[in-house]
Chain A
Amino acid sequence: MAALSEEVLLVVKRVRQRKQDGTLYLMAERIAWGPEGKDRFTVSHLYADIRCQKISPDGKAKIQLQLVLHTGESTNLHFSNESTALKDRDAAKDLLQQLLPKFKKRANKELEEKNRMLQEDPVLFQLYKDLVVCQVISAEEFWANRLSINNVDHSLSNNKQEVGISAAFLADIRPQTDGCNGLRYNLTSDIIESIFRTYPAVKQKYGENVPHNLTEKEFWTRFFQSHYFHRDRINTGLQDIFSECAKLDEKGLKSMVFQGVKNPMVDLLSLEDKSLEEGYGSNSTAPSTSNTNKTVKENSNSAIIKRFNHHSTMVLAALTLCMALCTIIMCFLSKMSCHFYVIEYEDLHRENGKKTVALNLKKSDRYSHGPVPLLPQQYTTSQDIVNSVNCIKHEIASYKPCLTQVMSSSTASSAIAALSPGGVLMQALAQQAINQMVPNDVQEEMKHLYTAAGELLRHFWSCFPVNTPFLEEKVVKMRSNLERFQMTKLRPFQEKVQRQYLSTNLTGHLEDMFQMAYNKFHAWQTRRMMRKT
């Protein structure tokens, strides 16, 4: 049975569904219910499909749990074990409460992402309408390519982004007196998380003591009572389980201090070149007085100061992921560059504006007209080229103008006039004419056609070189998609254009593109056939 391989988190017996007794199973991925005596589930919902759960009010006789699905359907579960019904229901409810949010996020994330992309990008949205809504290609195909583009940032957002810690999380627990000599601390799971990340020693203690020695509540009560939490109080109780934490923190701080700092500009130790020798100087009182005769008050004050430094450091360290990177960069930049940017007075330099790279086009006509169809042509070897160049050179060297057959100057100048802008032969090419000739809605539609066709062609061309069976399948499919597009979209448009008696061939280029794709497909297919035979 498939269910056996799944991890069962909770089993609740005697749960009724549609007046039938049965057993409820909560598994890692889904919730399922099977009627008594049968070993299959009649009800099974993936957690991802569940929108929410509802429970019956406490006072009700029937103790029920309702699962509402995204589709709007719902399933009622009635816990009917008289003695433990309430407990059972609560156990199931609690577990669901923990599980549902996890799955909810996962399921919705993708949808959200798609939705967002469509909303943000009107062109994409149009494309979606053109291709998917008109069922040229399926939604999966459409997204398959899109999402992979975003894969890079997707993968980043995939592993849950680390949330930083508020520096003031301890302030949020501010105790309130409850009126009868007690204190109430507000503790949320966020704060606990923050405490653990900021003070790993506490986490360790928690792991050691909860739940074997102390309940969670006791643990936190002790924590708040401890000297560790109130650093300004003087350490009294030795049985305090947190006294060790303070030592661990101290150790951590010491080791950090010992490592020293990377940036020489802030290293106070190496700042002084030559310190005065011991005994010289006007206010160098002997260091022997450092610890011994400090008053208790002073000790606690310096403990507070240490604590603040430690706290801020740890909060900062909690942003490790991206910060690690930063520090590495800082290391690289270290000494030399430090001097470098310190001595530069940027405003004393002439600003030499950002240098941009000029687009260098060898063949500007190809840029404005798109690639010319590759006609089957004969390749020339470099030897051929060299030969022909030599040949031409030779020709030119021995060139003699044949003056008798030259055009008369008047015909020549009229030919030049006809070919210059404004001349007889150059009139039809004016771009403006098309702009004005074609109505706006046609232009608009054509734009859509272009984007849609471009998208399809992109899919098509991305299959080459075809080296996996999957791509093979796809390329075939894409060709049929192209054909379908041509039939359902391009043809009607052509007809419409014709109906409006627009003389110019607006769709020529589009057709060319399709034709080129077909040619390619054809070539590929024949080659494959040949290889097969």
Chain B
Amino acid sequence: MVRAITALLNIEGLLVYFPYDYIYPEQYSYMLELKRTLDAKGHGVLEMPSGTGKTISLLSLIVAYQREYPLEVTKLIYCSRTVPEIEKVVEELRKLIEFYSKETGEKNNFLALALSSRKNLCVHPEVSSLRFGKEVDGKCHSLTASYIRAQRHSNPSLPSCRFYEEFDAMGKQVPLPAGVYNLDDMKDFGRRKGWCPYYLARYSILHANIIVYSYHYLLDPKIADLVSKELSKKSVVVFDEAHNIDNVCIDSMSVNITRRTLDRSQANVETLQNTILKIKETDSAKLKEEYRRLVEGLKEANVARETDIYMSNPVLPDEILQEAVPGSIRTAEHFVGFMKRFLEYLKSRLRIHHVVQESTPQFLKDIFEKVCIDRKPLRFCAERLRSLLRTLEIADIADFSAITLISNFATLVSTYSKGFTIIIEPFEDRTPTIANPVLHFSCMDPSIAIKPVFERFQSVIITSGTLSPLDIYPRILDFRPVTTASFTMTLARTCLCPLVVGRGNDQVAMTSKFETREDFAVIRNYGNLLLEMSAIVPDGIVAFFTSYTYMENIVASWYEQGILENVQRNKLIFIETPDAAETSMALEKYQEACENGRGAILLSVARGKVSEGIDFVHHFGRAVIMFGVPYVYTQSRILKARLEYLRDQFQIRENDFLTFDAMRHAAQCVGRAIRGKTDYGLMIFADKRYARADKRGKLPRWIQEHLTDSSLNLTIDETVQLSKHFLRQMAQPFKQEDQLGLSLLTLEQLQSEDMLQKIAQIAHQA
């Protein structure tokens, strides 16, 4: 009993098991806010720097809540962004659950599992050896689709996946035994039982207590409809690393159509037509059956949605569910004819010589005038095509991705009159001589994709290390949070050192502003900064540029000026390339060079893959240099349309949004280097514009706090001096005792009254 008390935290009456001996004060505040959010059954926005144990705080509180109120919260859906992060979360969860069973002494009946794409879960020896996710999906489908399996009854020589067959025969009878299953555990279990881990996981999420998977399973309507639509309403959804969630939403709803897409769709339509003819000769009953079903309409889905079993799908709007498929596309031939007409129309739209931008109603009006296509059948396109593909028993859906894309576009364009724009560009801006027409159907309103999530689940938590300014996310995602809070990192020593370098030693202002970015002096000063830093910073330095082309230009001119050769005297240089495989290798070598003491510099790009997904802990990143302010490319028409929409719809000024967007990416980049309280690193903002209040104020609080007036608008020399001082200080031994009581608390300390007050004070500054 005495033991139990020491391991328990009391969060406003909720007893929480925390699997560590110590706790950071901010973790305590974080759990407090989280608990209040869950109590209120509302949504929350919580910002806490990475490396302060966000994940474990979230998990331990929600698990405790689930155990305490099993009827209020039945499931935790934890969404993360990358596969390694998903696995990390599951490992932390495993630790927590093990701690539970150790402390309580009883066997846990928790089921927690990670779900990922087939590529990461497949155990079929041939299929899993394929390199790309798309290939794996296609191959799997060709072995496991229902009609393929039906055909196998008459023709047993057809290839099959024994794992799927076993799972189908046995796997659904007994639920997955309680425990924590990471991706590899799922695979092991599947191999042992001979069951397909992917389908087992997909089946098991329905009754699991905790699911960890990636954003797409909830936000991408195409996938969410397959995987997540039956998840319980009483779930808590957590979006971790959510600083980019609006872009994920927008991406999942946007469509680009090129000439190539149309050509491939054309081919698809031909295939469909041929198959229909063939079937008509042999098995016309099948088509009749389909027709009957379509008359019935999508009643089944409608009933399910009304009784709250299904999550709504933005591609499958409510209205269609109540109606039967319109007569004009009900028979297979008619539908194919309809699609042909639609394709011809799109082709004609792509034959243009100037940029066209129009709203969806304009587009619909135009299509009605030109080819007499009504709005209503268009809306049923996606559903109708799916039904047809099912009826025709087409094995490899992947081949039909082009026509599926077109039909999704048709449904979306006819469903939403607001929040979307259509831009047809005859060529790329950089190469006006080469015709490459593209139709961008671009979503401007991220709230469309995420709306079903907010509506369906009782609590949605949006959290990340960098969410500042906090008020903007509820506005652009269009929801009303019950809690918004930003927690800072309590530190026993200032282990981060943000510096704004505004000038070179020659007093020429340093900035990546468009007018001066190609200026010789600016490039030289940037080079000098890198050179000086390479001489004083130990091990790894990561430098971020605002865009890939900018980096290419700068690297080329640094090469000409011999700057890079001098940098090489101090460290090895690795550079991110557009090719992911090449960059992975460069990254690995970079880490190797940091590891063996050689020291290295990684030149990288904000908004690139490195800046989003790779952490540079400890000596892998002792300094981050942000060259310039990473504004998005503002000349893009899609962006302009989106800015306009934000202004009209949400009253967000263009400049505010652009700055917000630039600063969150800058914060992401520099935040890569600090991954905990024992870590330390320099954050160098190399642009004079960072010194301005409007930019500085949009940095996360935990960075802003340490950005003093004396560290603004420095010259390179001053920066070097400050950095040297900082690095020497940080290199001193740092022991646990130094942190204790300040940024690290024992659980006993947490029980004292004045400590709680102090914590509350810190939290309320937010």
Q: Which residues of A contact B (CB under 8 A)?
A: 164, 166-168, 170-171, 174, 232, 253, 256-258, 260-286, 288-289, 292-293, 298, 300-302, 304-306, 308-309, 311-313, 315-316, 319, 322-323, 326-327, 335, 338-340, 342-343, 345-351
User: For residue A323, which residues in chain B have a CB less than 8 angstroms away from its CB?
Assistant: 592, 596
User: Is B577's CB under 8 angstroms from A261's CB?
Assistant: no
User: Is A260's CB under 8 angstroms from B584's CB?
Assistant: yes
User: For residue B220, which residues in chain A have a CB less than 8 angstroms away from its CB?
Assistant: 274, 276
Q: Does B436 contact A (CB under 8 A)?
A: yes
Q: With A263-B588, A280-B256 in contact, is A274–B251 under 8 Å at CB?
A: no
- What is the minimal beta-carbon distance from A270 to any residue of chain B, in angstroms? 6
User: Is A326's CB under 8 angstroms from B588's CB?
Assistant: no
- What is the minimal beta-carbon distance from B103 to any residue of chain A, in angstroms? 16
Q: With A301-B556, A302-B577 in contact, is A350–B83 under 8 Å at CB?
A: no
User: Is B82's CB under 8 angstroms from A271's CB?
Assistant: yes
Q: How far is the CA of A339 from the CA of B93 in the complex (A)?
A: 12
User: Is B565's CB under 8 angstroms from A171's CB?
Assistant: yes
User: For residue A288, which residues in chain B have a CB less than 8 angstroms away from its CB?
Assistant: 258, 260, 436
Q: In the complex, which of the residues B133, B251, B592, B676 contacts A316, with contact meaning CB atoms closer than 8 Å?
A: B592
Q: In the complex, which of the residues A232, A271, A285, A340 contacts B438, with contact meaning CB atoms closer than 8 Å?
A: A285
Q: In the complex, which of the residues A270, A282, A311 contacts B250, with contact meaning CB atoms closer than 8 Å?
A: A282
Q: Can you add 13 more A-B contacts, CB < 8 Å, to A174-B565, A301-B555, A305-B552?
A: A257-B579, A268-B580, A268-B610, A272-B82, A272-B83, A275-B133, A279-B261, A280-B255, A280-B405, A285-B438, A305-B575, A308-B575, A319-B598
Q: Does B640 contact A (CB under 8 A)?
A: no
- What is the minimal beta-carbon distance from A126 to any residue of chain B, in angstroms? 37
User: Is B428's CB under 8 angstroms from A280's CB?
Assistant: no
User: For residue B552, which residues in chain A have a CB less than 8 angstroms away from its CB?
Assistant: 298, 301-302, 305
User: Is B562's CB under 8 angstroms from A171's CB?
Assistant: yes
Within 8 A of A (CB), among B553-575: 553, 555-556, 559-560, 562, 564-566, 568-569, 571-575
User: Is B83's CB under 8 angstroms from A343's CB?
Assistant: no
Q: Does B383 contact A (CB under 8 A)?
A: no
Q: How far is the CA of A450 from the CA of B434 in the complex (A)?
A: 93
A to B CB contacts below 8 Å, 12 in the list: A264-B84, A273-B213, A276-B251, A279-B402, A293-B434, A298-B549, A309-B586, A312-B572, A323-B596, A339-B91, A345-B676, A347-B739
Q: Does B62 contact A (CB under 8 A)?
A: no
User: For residue B638, which residues in chain A have a CB less than 8 angstroms away from its CB?
Assistant: 282-283
User: For residue A304, which residues in chain B have a CB less than 8 angstroms away from its CB?
Assistant: 555-556, 559
Q: With A302-B552, A304-B559 in contact, is A348–B20 under 8 Å at CB?
A: yes
Q: How far is the CA of A270 from the CA of B136 in the complex (A)?
A: 13
User: For residue A168, which residues in chain B have a CB less than 8 angstroms away from its CB?
Assistant: 565-566, 568-569
User: For residue A253, which residues in chain B have a CB less than 8 angstroms away from its CB?
Assistant: 582
User: For residue B244, which residues in chain A have a CB less than 8 angstroms away from its CB?
Assistant: none
Q: Does B614 contact A (CB under 8 A)?
A: yes
Q: With A271-B609, A346-B678 in contact, is A278–B589 under 8 Å at CB?
A: no
User: For residue B82, which residues in chain A have a CB less than 8 angstroms away from its CB?
Assistant: 271-273
Q: How far is the CA of A311 from the CA of B600 in the complex (A)?
A: 13
Q: With A269-B580, A282-B638 in contact, is A256–B83 under 8 Å at CB?
A: no
User: Is B566's CB under 8 angstroms from A309's CB?
Assistant: no
Q: Does B86 contact A (CB under 8 A)?
A: yes
User: For residue A167, which residues in chain B have a CB less than 8 angstroms away from its CB?
Assistant: 568-569, 571-573, 598
User: Is B83's CB under 8 angstroms from A271's CB?
Assistant: yes
Q: In the complex, which of the residues B88, B117, B257, B440 contacts A342, with contact meaning CB atoms closer than 8 Å?
A: B88
Q: Does B431 contact A (CB under 8 A)?
A: yes
Q: How far is the CA of A302 from the CA of B609 in the complex (A)?
A: 18
- What is the minimal beta-carbon distance from A297 to any residue of chain B, in angstroms? 8
Residue of A nearest to B600 (CB): A312
User: Is A166's CB under 8 angstroms from B569's CB?
Assistant: yes
Q: With A272-B83, A301-B555, A349-B21 in contact, is A280–B588 under 8 Å at CB?
A: no
User: For residue A264, which residues in chain B have a CB less than 8 angstroms away from its CB?
Assistant: 83-84
User: For residue B431, which residues in chain A have a CB less than 8 angstroms away from its CB?
Assistant: 289, 293
Q: How far is the CA of A393 from the CA of B596 in the complex (A)?
A: 67
Within 8 A of A (CB), among B568-613: 568-569, 571-575, 577, 579-589, 591-593, 595-596, 598, 600, 609-610, 613
Chain B 233-256: CB-based contact to A (< 8 A → 1; otherwise 0):
000000000000001001110111
User: Is B744's CB under 8 angstroms from A348's CB?
Assistant: yes
User: Is A257's CB under 8 angstroms from B555's CB?
Assistant: no
Instruction: Enumerate the 6 nearest inter-chain pairs by beta-carbon distance, A residue then B residue, closest first.
Output: A171-B565, A273-B214, A348-B20, A168-B568, A168-B569, A312-B572
User: Is A316's CB under 8 angstroms from B572's CB?
Assistant: yes
Q: How far is the CA of A322 from the CA of B88 in the complex (A)?
A: 31
Q: Which residues of B contact A (CB under 8 A)?
A: 20-24, 53, 56, 82-84, 86-88, 91-92, 95, 116-117, 119-120, 133-134, 184, 213-214, 216-217, 220, 222-223, 247, 250-252, 254-258, 260-261, 401-402, 405, 428, 431, 434, 436, 438, 440, 442-443, 549, 552-553, 555-556, 559-560, 562, 564-566, 568-569, 571-575, 577, 579-589, 591-593, 595-596, 598, 600, 609-610, 613-615, 617, 636, 638, 676-678, 736, 739, 744
Residue of A nearest to B676 (CB): A345
Q: How far is the CA of A315 from the CA of B577 in the complex (A)?
A: 19
User: Is A282's CB under 8 angstroms from B251's CB?
Assistant: yes
Chain B, interface SS category: helix
User: Is A274's CB under 8 angstroms from B133's CB?
Assistant: yes
User: Is A273's CB under 8 angstroms from B405's CB?
Assistant: no
User: For residue B217, which residues in chain A have a CB less than 8 angstroms away from its CB?
Assistant: 274
User: For residue B613, which residues in chain A have a CB less than 8 angstroms away from its CB?
Assistant: 268, 271
Q: How far is the CA of A450 from the CA of B491 in the complex (A)?
A: 56
User: Is A273's CB under 8 angstroms from B86's CB?
Assistant: yes
User: Is A308's CB under 8 angstroms from B609's CB?
Assistant: no
The CB with the most chain A CB atoms within 10 A, among B257, B258, B583, B585, is that of: B585
User: Is A274's CB under 8 angstroms from B428's CB?
Assistant: no
Q: How far is the CA of A293 from the CA of B53 in the complex (A)?
A: 47
User: Is B428's CB under 8 angstroms from A285's CB?
Assistant: yes
User: For residue A272, which residues in chain B have a CB less than 8 angstroms away from its CB?
Assistant: 82-83
User: For residue B592, which residues in chain A have a CB less than 8 angstroms away from its CB?
Assistant: 316, 323, 326-327
- What is the minimal beta-carbon distance from A286 to any residue of chain B, in angstroms? 5
User: Is B582's CB under 8 angstroms from A257's CB?
Assistant: yes
User: For residue B23, which residues in chain A have a CB less than 8 angstroms away from its CB?
Assistant: 348
User: Is A274's CB under 8 angstroms from B214's CB?
Assistant: yes
User: For residue A268, which residues in chain B have a CB less than 8 angstroms away from its CB?
Assistant: 580-581, 583-584, 587, 609-610, 613-614
User: Is A300's CB under 8 angstroms from B556's CB?
Assistant: yes
Q: How far is the CA of A312 from the CA of B592 in the complex (A)?
A: 11
User: Is B593's CB under 8 angstroms from A316's CB?
Assistant: yes
Q: In the complex, which of the residues A263, A269, A279, A302 contacts B581, with contact meaning CB atoms closer than 8 Å?
A: A269
User: For residue A278, which residues in chain B have a CB less than 8 angstroms away from its CB?
Assistant: 401, 405
- What is the minimal beta-carbon distance from B488 to any residue of chain A, in angstroms? 17
User: Is B572's CB under 8 angstroms from A282's CB?
Assistant: no
User: Is A305's CB under 8 angstroms from B677's CB?
Assistant: no
Q: With A272-B82, A279-B257, A285-B428 in contact, is A312–B589 under 8 Å at CB?
A: yes
Q: How far is the CA of A174 from the CA of B569 in the complex (A)?
A: 13
User: Is A280's CB under 8 angstroms from B587's CB?
Assistant: no
User: Is A345's CB under 8 angstroms from B566's CB?
Assistant: no
User: Is B438's CB under 8 angstroms from A170's CB?
Assistant: no
- What is the minimal beta-carbon distance from B474 to any residue of chain A, in angstroms? 22
User: Is A286's CB under 8 angstroms from B556's CB?
Assistant: no
Q: How far is the CA of A298 from the CA of B430 in the complex (A)?
A: 12
Q: How far is the CA of A502 from the CA of B617 in the complex (A)?
A: 68
User: Is A257's CB under 8 angstroms from B436's CB?
Assistant: no
Residue of B nearest to A264 (CB): B84
Q: With A275-B133, A312-B600 in contact, is A257–B117 under 8 Å at CB?
A: no
User: For residue A342, which residues in chain B have a CB less than 8 angstroms away from its CB?
Assistant: 88, 615, 617
User: Is B595's CB under 8 angstroms from A326's CB?
Assistant: yes
Q: How far is the CA of A343 from the CA of B84 in the complex (A)?
A: 11
User: For residue B744, which residues in chain A have a CB less than 8 angstroms away from its CB?
Assistant: 347-348
Q: How far is the CA of A308 from the CA of B558 in the complex (A)?
A: 12
User: For residue B617, which residues in chain A have a CB less than 8 angstroms away from its CB?
Assistant: 342
Residue of B nearest to A164 (CB): B598
User: For residue B555, which residues in chain A have a CB less than 8 angstroms away from its CB?
Assistant: 301, 304-305, 308
